[in-house]
Amino acid sequence: MAPIRLPTSNFDFHAIRSEFRLREAFSDDALAEASSPVDRYEHDREDRTDIPLVTIDPPGSMDLDQAVHIERLTSGFVVHYAIADVGALVIPGGALDSETRERGQTYYLPDGSVPLHPRVLSEGSASLLPNEARAAALWRIELDSDGEAVAWTVGRAMVRSVARLDYAGVQADVDAGTPHPSIAALAEFGALRAQAALLRGSIDITLPEQEVVPDGHSWRVELQGRTDVDTWNAEVSLLTGMCAARIMLDARVGILRTLPTASKDALATLRTTADTLGIEWPEGASAGAVLAGLPSAAPETLAMMTEATGLLRGADYAAFDGDVPNLTDHAGIGAPYAHVTAPLRRLSDRYATEVCLAVVADTEIPAWARTALPDLPAVMRASDSTASKVDRACIDLTEATMLARRVGEEFGALVLRGAEGKRDAEVFLDDPIVIGKCTGEPPEGEKVTVRLTVADTDSRRIEFSYDSP
């Protein structure tokens, strides 16, 4: 079927920007600071431009926070992970510092981002662009032959990326047996780390994500599946965040990303869903192990993964200085974890990285970083909530516009969730790609026919109905 063209009227993501008060413009003072950044640690950096680091990001990305190099040894691996040293470039208490605290993070919309930092910094002088010497917090993590971290450290360095790669290109190179030399060990490393994650009891929900993409002069929704390279590369970031959490917990100061253990009710609901879908749950197997063993292309897997999102509720941030919080683990990861790998795009990473750098160097944590810790959880909660709502609003608007002229039509759909209590069922259409609520009682995990009853672009709401045969 040819792509459905969307009408241009009443289809403007700028309205969503206004609704959520997203402002790209920075003050003149903040722009001036970003345009002429000074590396406060220029003379304290180790020159590690000898490490042939590479970046892996979506095509066209310019705000490059991370660069990686993985070396395979007879005893295991050595991972070097360079993170843009934003804390060295932003003036504490300055205009830019103040504005980033108001924003919290970069917001992504289909027609462009609303950045945490001015682009001259985040896509220029601080970005780990190829063939440019850049200030970085350089992690060195040693792993044994099973992929378990045995030693780690972080320090300020000058680094240089030798290539800007993207996920699809790296995947194609791996499939062809010609990976970039700097990440030739990524596949083996990633597979070992994924296995270690299951042993920790982690829960990885591999739902394909909806994404609004250009379609000529209009927009449509596509599903963005996750490649093996996405998973392996994410393991590098997760590993680094786990090492950072350990450093901060040992020092009894820092900020963690936390998630409580899934409730008994959520696990019971997931087990019921597995029974309904005919999915085997071996005695003693964890939810993460069951999910990891599901066939990726099966419709039952999509339904099971959708229900499993109920296991990962209650994510939060925990700042501490002296007394360690009661909850330190992230149940989805199966270990303590901290955000430190995306400081160009997420505010808290700058502060957590600064704590780690000071602790490892056995120096005083800068007052600007330490005194800000108590305020960061609230800032990040608010910005995470806004980011989630903005993402959902953009998808909802696109879906409603795609279907606005098709109310009353019938569609084939997969039932992701059955109705339960006051909760309507949720269905997935693959042509066009839409996820929406459905009245009636469609059977979970089965393919059914539904009728579109609501497609309102003003409220960004769509709804389907199901009539039992």
Secondary structure (H, E, C), 21-47: CCCCCCCHHHHHHHHCCCCCCHHHCEE
Each residue's pLDDT tens digit, 231-253: 999 999 999 999 999 999 999 99
Q: What is the pLDDT of residue 94?
A: 97
Q: What is the pLDDT of residue 7?
A: 42
Q: Record the pTM.
A: 0.92
**Can you read off the two tokens belonging to residue 144?**
């044994």
**Can you read off the two tokens belonging to residue 288?**
């993460």
pLDDT at 3 over 50: no
321: left (phi over 0), alpha (psi -120 to 50) or beta: beta
For residues 410 and 313, give the distance between their C-alpha atoms in angstroms, rounded to a whole number: 34
Indicate the CATH number of 405-468 among 1.10.274.30, 2.40.50.140, 3.10.50.40, 1.10.10.60. Answer: 2.40.50.140
For residues 390 and 18, give the distance between their C-alpha atoms in angstroms, rounded to a whole number: 11
Q: What is the pLDDT of residue 297?
A: 67
pLDDT at 1 over 60: no
Window from 1-10, 57-66, 376-385, 397-406 with minimum mean pLDDT: 1-10
Burial of residue 188, with CB atoms counted within 10 A of its CB: 0-12 exposed, 13-18 middle, 19 or more buried: middle
Confidence of residue 8 (pLDDT cuts 50, 70, 90): very low
For residue 12, the tally of other CB atoms under 10 A from its CB is 12
Query: What are the φ and ψ backbone dihedral angles of 284, each rounded to 5 degrees?
Result: 85, -5
Percent of the chain clearing pLDDT 70 (strictly above): 97
For residues 196 and 190, give the distance between their C-alpha atoms in angstroms, rounded to a whole number: 10
Segment 112-120 shows an average pLDDT of 97
**Can you read off the two tokens belonging to residue 438?**
């459905």
Each residue's pLDDT tens digit, 191-203: 999 999 988 989 8
Segment 360-385 shows an average pLDDT of 98
Segment 81-92 shows an average pLDDT of 98
Residue whose C-alpha is closest to residue 363's, from 4, 44, 43, 101: 44
Q: If DSSP codes are grouped into helix, strand and coil, which group holds residue 122? A: helix
pLDDT at 10 over 70: no
Q: Helix 186-200 crosses helix 228-251 at what angle (to 10 degrees)? A: 60
Domain layout of the chain by residue ranges: 13-260+315-398, 263-313, 405-468
Element (H, E) at 267: helix 264-277
State the chain's mean pLDDT as an integer: 93
Q: Helix 95-103 crosses helix 347-361 at what angle (to 10 degrees)? A: 120
Confidence of residue 307 (pLDDT cuts 50, 70, 90): confident
pLDDT at 338 over 70: yes
Q: What is the pLDDT of residue 16?
A: 95
pLDDT at 361 over 90: yes
Q: What is the pLDDT of residue 209?
A: 78
The answer to whether 54 and 41 are in contact (CB under 8 A) is no
Segment 398-425 shows an average pLDDT of 91
**Can you read off the two tokens belonging to residue 102?**
């108001």
Confidence of residue 2 (pLDDT cuts 50, 70, 90): very low
Q: What is the pLDDT of residue 224?
A: 78
For residue 159, the tally of other CB atoms under 10 A from its CB is 27
